[in-house]
Structure 1
Amino acid sequence: MSQPTLNDVAKVAKVSATTVSRVINRRGYLSKETIAKVEQAMKKLNYRPNIIAKQLQAQRTMTIGILVPTIANPFFGQLTYELERQFFKNGFRVMIGNAENDVAKERAYLKQLLARQVDGLVIATHNHQQQIPEYQHTNMPIVSIDRYLRSTIPNISSDNYAGGRLATLALLERGARHIIHTDSEQLFDHHDYLRQQVYEDVMKEHHLVPHTYSVNFGSTQQDKEELFNQLFTEYPDVDGIFASNDMDAVMILQAAKRRGIKVPDELQVIGYDGVPTTRMMVPELATIEQPINQMAQLAVKVLQHEIDQQPVEKSYTLPVKFLPAASVKPVTAE
């Protein structure tokens, strides 16, 4: 009588062979039900897992590819840090690609990761998905973060619509009326401009004129300094700015200071992201906080489910919150 194999256990337990491997090695997210099913199947077949290491190595590389637009931005630096920590805890090693908003560079990294047969990908880049056909054709497990790639790829994001509404209403509640929203000029898909959409909706609800000031996501610091200086020239009456990210908000505060504009008396500014390092260095910046830790944890969990061929949702939305600070006025009781 031949000795039962890992695949035999998988068939009896009605799970994938990879899941059997992970139960034996206690790697990754595993429900109590899954562990019980696998252990019962092993007992029933009298399976001895002494050859599991070789079988696991033959099927998986235990490596994950992570692609981000730029690790220079604190949000993506923190996100990469949290993803790496979570994957490492679950037995994986990561390969990180810094795409720098360059389509050719992103494609080069993507091709390399596919050639190395990583077990899955986490994509948080900002290049247009239609410029990178590999995303449309690969069957590799992929999770995207705050970026829509295609309908079959799970997307994890914070609630951009709620965040945009919180920021715009916070400025209105504090007396701002000439409010500008700075946002990327690269709008890829209807999923990608919810903050701008809700800003415009809220302004119109209050019978005010919305102004979205376009910023190239890949602009250099010098280009952005010139752009934000130009903003004050073009809109001298601006009294509130909802920036698309904290780094832009910080540069806007600096531009206002150079012009002698008093914050928050003459200008109120709200950023977006709420990364701990930015808040520590610029504590006066009010912002919308994204739950980066939870986003990373969920991305790891969903990708592992995909790798194990378990069902996943196609969209996950996490809550955000407004963190007031000295760049906005206190709300006055009426």
Structure 2
Amino acid sequence: MEEFAEASGISRPTVSKYFHDPASVRATTRSKIEAALEKYDYQPNIFAINQNRKLTKTIGILVPFLADPFFAEIVRNIEQSCIKAGFWPIVFSAHGSQSAENNALATLRSLRPAGALLAPLGRGSDLDAVRHFAEEVPTVVFDSNVNVGEAFVGSNNFQSVDLMVDYLCRSGEPPCFFEMPPVNPNANKRREAYIQSMERLGHEPKVVQVAGSGWEFEQIGLEGGMHLISERALPSDTVLCSNDRLAVGLIAAACQKGLRIGHAPGCALRIAGHDDHPWSRFTCPPLTTVSQDYTSITERSVEILFDLIRGEKPKGDRPEILFDGKLILRASA
């Protein structure tokens, strides 16, 4: 920056002021700086600048598995909100690994972010490491509600699952619940919500857990579904899957076994999911599911984080903001 200031004939403090906030310098000076930037092709080192700022413009975003289109869509919305507000979003994925999550947190902390939006692994997280990060960096947690950060924003699983169970019971045989060993708090809440809803409606809950670990949910759903169908071990012709990715695998298993899926006469199986995953409308047949309110979750998460950055803490003791789901009826159920 000193070399650029000397070459352009503009004082270094003025140049620094421009990079902090272009609107803070006079229009004539701003035009002169921008002309010099183009002439000398100068690019500031944002990380070096951040080391000298009391408040950086960096926002950290950490998700458990960025290859999941659900998280990709959430991150896309968060990025756009941060950029629009003049911040630099930096995205990390834990790739389903505790060590990768810890490394991401350590790297992000070294960048001195203004704040962070975290969707922790959940059961697989090193909670001490996540908590230590959140004590140093203004943090809002979304999707996976582990008890860290200043606030949590997510989906109302008890409302959304109840909505689906009620519909499936009214429209056909009561559903069994298809799941894998839980990887985050949402899975446990959805199972509990299913059990409560079935009991409220006077039906016996039937939970089917297939073997598997990690974040390859479609493969787990496929392999578990193939086994259950082969053994005729599904306790109901209606199956509510814990999430849409498991449902995608189960649909593939049913198709490979020659079962017709849907609500029409001659169908052997109804399959429903949860999340309104971006690909759920493209399964064959399209998947009946419950949508998460992507827009409200991301907007509220970012809004709370920006308040924290400005020194405005949310009212109450770590508020939990939950958004209701919406029933999405498609051909699979």
What is the TM-score normalised by the length of structure 2? 0.75
Q: Distance in 2 between matches of 1:229 and 1:199?
A: 23
Instruction: Identify the match of residue 266 of structure 1 among 252, 265, 268.
Output: 268
Checking the alignment, whether the CA contact within 8 Å between 1:274 and 1:290 is kept in structure 2 is: yes
RMSD: 2.7
Structure with greater contact order relative to length (CA < 8 Å, sep ≥ 6): 1
Instruction: Identify the match of residue 185 of structure 1 among 181, 195, 201.
Output: 181
In structure 2, the CA distance between the partners of 1:220 and 1:253, relative to structure 1 (3 Å rule), is closer
- Report the alpha carbon displacement of residue 318 of structure 1 after superposing the two structures with TM: 0.9
Q: Structure 1: which amino acid aligns with 2:141? A: S
Q: What secondary structure does 1:86 align onto?
A: helix
1:226 match: 223
Where do 1:22-33 residues align within 5 Å? none
Which ranges of structure 2 fall in alignment gaps of 5 or more residues? 1-19, 25-48
1:95 match: 90
- Report the alpha carbon displacement of residue 183 of structure 1 after superposing the two structures with TM: 3.3
1:64 match: 59
Checking the alignment, whether the CA contact within 8 Å between 2:122 and 2:145 is kept in structure 1 is: no
Checking the alignment, whether the CA contact within 8 Å between 2:51 and 2:112 is kept in structure 1 is: no
Percent identity, aligned pairs only? Answer: 22
Where do 1:229-308 residues align within 5 Å? 229-232=226-229, 233=231, 235-264=233-262, 265-280=267-282, 284-308=286-310
Deviation per CA, 1:182-223, whole angstroms, max 9, x where unpaired?
33523665x762211110112223232321425535246544
Is 1:140–2:137 an aligned residue pair? yes
| Matched length | 277
- Report the alpha carbon displacement of residue 167 of structure 1 after superposing the two structures with TM: 1.5
Where do 1:173-212 residues align within 5 Å? 173-177=170-174, 179-186=175-182, 193-205=188-200, 206-212=202-208
1:108 match: 103
In structure 2, the CA distance between the partners of 1:78 and 1:117, relative to structure 1 (3 Å rule), is same
Checking the alignment, whether the CA contact within 8 Å between 2:280 and 2:286 is kept in structure 1 is: no
Q: What secondary structure does 1:266 align onto?
A: coil
What is the TM-score normalised by the length of structure 1? 0.75
Checking the alignment, whether the CA contact within 8 Å between 1:68 and 1:125 is kept in structure 2 is: yes
- Report the alpha carbon displacement of residue 280 of structure 1 after superposing the two structures with TM: 4.8
